[in-house]
Amino acid sequence: MAKPKGKDDTTLATNRRAHFDYELGDRYEAGLSLIGSEARSLRMSGADISAAWVDIDSRGQAWVKDMKIPVLQHAAFGHEEKRARRLLLHRQEIERLRGSTERDGMTLIVTKCYYKANRAKLEFALARGKKKYDKRQSTRDREQQREARQAMQRRR
């Protein structure tokens, strides 16, 4: 069955490292304000969000930092690869996020970049950094779950 016209839901980039380095909490979706060459480049070559994070400034605006969108070679007017880009969120959401980051000592980490109905979107999560022993424990848990699945498959 063909997709309805204009419903382009494609994942452009995921931050797989975020699950290893952080304990992820609530997830949020925000629109991404782009200029023309960024939108085309994002569709053609994707983005690097491995170091991307969200900052809320003193004026109550949310910005994504360290998100890398490569410059197109043939574009007449280019853009900066790592410029801060504004996130489109409601005021209440921004205030709730600001309260969580200031009160709980958490940070906002970008986990996914995608198109939803031809609009660039970011998924980000409230996150707390893991310590080294937490990472070892999560690796150990993952290995135990994999061994248990393999043992169940062998029994069948």
Range of 122's domain?
10-155
Number of domains in the chain: 1
Question: Residue 1 — very low, low, confident or very high, per pLDDT cuts 50/70/90?
Answer: very low
For Cα atoms 7, 13, 19, give the angle at the middle one, nearest 5 degrees.
125
Domain membership of residue 4 (yes or no) is no
Per-residue model confidence as pLDDT tens digits over 53-97:
999 998 999 999 999 988 877 766 777 888 899 999 999 999 999
In-domain check, residue 98: yes
Does residue 27 belong to any structural domain of this protein?
Answer: yes
| Residue 144 bridge partners (DSSP) | none
Q: Is residue 2 part of a domain?
A: no
| 37 Cβ contact partners less than 8 Å away, ≥ 6 residues apart | 71, 72, 75, 77, 78, 79
* pLDDT digit string, tens, across residues 14-36: 998 888 888 899 999 999 998 87
What the block records as the tokens of 17 is 């490292």
Q: Per the domain annotation, does 111 fall within a domain?
A: yes
Q: What is the CATH number of the domain that holds 19?
A: 2.40.280.10
Residue 59 burial by Cβ neighbours in a 10 Å radius (0-12, 13-18, 19+):
exposed
Is 1 inside any structural domain?
no
